[in-house]
Amino acid sequence: VRKDLEKDNAGQVTLIPEEPEDMWHTYNLLQVGDSLRASTIRKVQTESSTGSVGSNRIRTTLTLCVETIDFDSQACQLRVKGTNIQENEYVKMGAYHTIELEPNRQFTLAKKQWDSVVLERIEQACDPAWSADVAAVVMQEGLAHVCLVTPSMTLTRAKVEVNIPRKRKGNCSQHDRALERFYEQVVQAIQRHINFEVVKCVLVASPGFVREQFCDYMFQQAVKTDNKLLLENRSKFLQVHSSSGHKYALKEALCDPAVTSRLSDTKAAGEVKALDDFYKMLQHEPDRAFYGLKHVEKANEAMAIDTLLISDELFRHQDVATRARYVKLVDSVRENMGTVRIFSSLHVSGEQLGQLTGVAAILRFPVAELSDQEDESSSEDD
């Protein structure tokens, strides 16, 4: 909603979380020592003129200095405990209070230092184009809807309706021609409305065999006309079952556990592939795959890092100096034209990276002298 940052990157940002994933982003933005201003409910004791004591629940706005942060990933709730640092008629200065942050309620977060990783997370979380990374085509014979799916809503981009005559005994040509015309219109709608740079997965949902026939038709045509856009993105198309071609049938398809796991994988597909590449490199050319902060920093000094893999858990480190060290590493890799992939510790790939100390790198060229120092440093660590 607002952003007021000074030259030295101190300042405050006002945000409204709109969906469960925003609570996860908020959890990653909050750090001990930040100040958080939000509306909350406080139990206040009141004494009447007769001396009887009662207690009321009063909604008030408090500013806390953050001390503990508790995130419940199942309910997507965030509880922040801290001491009051601003005058308030109901709560004394220095008194403890716990604020529950919830979706659609504004809060203001102030930090002494906003670093590049945190600011980038806010940019991405606030840009709707970043979240609409799933598209869907729900279809049945003669009816199709082309939609974009964001975590919070489904936007219909195109509706295709073509009247398809029934098959007649011994004569299917009319039916087939109409069907082909229908498929052709759906392909055009896909090309017009789906931006493959953002969209990581296109669900094709239908009853029966419609989706298989449509995908076969689409890619045959793409080969004939040498349509690079469709051919390059072929792996993004995922066929799923739905009860009809109406928009509401998409909800069933999205609720299918196989689809949800596949979608969270496509969201993190880049990360999964990077981790896979890292393991392969570790196997075949161990001098070009490093993990552990010390080794990765050494490789970075040699400007050797091609891809940096880092877990978002590390940016939640309590120690400011350690956190700054990770941020500096990320900035430096980017300056040297390397790619940075920040893994979510809620995803399987993030957990795997966590087992490798949470930071790893694929190098542009082998850096050998490190492996010689390894033996000395490991004995120091012991």
The CATH topology of domain 134-265 is: Nucleotidyltransferase; domain 5 (3.30.420)
For the chain, domain boundaries: 2-45+54-126, 134-265, 268-375
Identify the pLDDT of residue 141. 93
Task: Give residue 261's pLDDT band: very low, low, confident or very high (50, 70, 90).
Answer: confident
C-alpha dihedral sign at 109, 114, 117, 120: positive
Confidence check: pLDDT of 357 > 90: yes
Mean pLDDT of the region 96-117: 92
Confidence check: pLDDT of 104 > 60: yes
Q: pLDDT higher for 372 or 291? A: 291
- How far apart CA 192 and CA 104 sit, in angstroms, is 33
Show the tokens assigned to 203: 């669900």
Mean pLDDT of the region 119-132: 75
End-to-end CA distance of the chain: 49
- How far apart CA 1 and CA 104 sit, in angstroms, is 12
Identify the pLDDT of residue 130. 62
- Looking at domain 268-375, which of 3.30.1330.30, 3.40.47.10, 3.40.50.720, 3.40.50.2300 is its CATH number? 3.30.1330.30
Q: pLDDT higher for 368 or 310? A: 310
Confidence check: pLDDT of 227 > 70: yes
Residues 46-103 have pLDDT tens digits of 887 888 888 889 999 999 999 999 988 777 789 999 999 999 988 999 999 999 998 8
Confidence check: pLDDT of 133 > 70: yes
Identify the pLDDT of residue 265. 65
- How far apart CA 287 and CA 367 sit, in angstroms, is 6
What number of other Cβ atoms are within 10 A of residue 222's Cβ?
A: 19
Predicted TM-score (pTM) of this structure? 0.62
- How far apart CA 156 and CA 148 sit, in angstroms, is 6
Closest by Cα among 194, 193, 203 to 239 = 203
Identify the pLDDT of residue 310. 95
Residues 234-255 have pLDDT tens digits of 988 989 999 999 988 887 777 7
- Looking at domain 2-45+54-126, which of 3.30.460.10, 3.30.565.10, 3.30.420.40, 2.30.30.870 is its CATH number? 2.30.30.870
Task: Give residue 267's pLDDT band: very low, low, confident or very high (50, 70, 90).
Answer: low
Identify the pLDDT of residue 378. 47
Confidence check: pLDDT of 230 > 60: yes
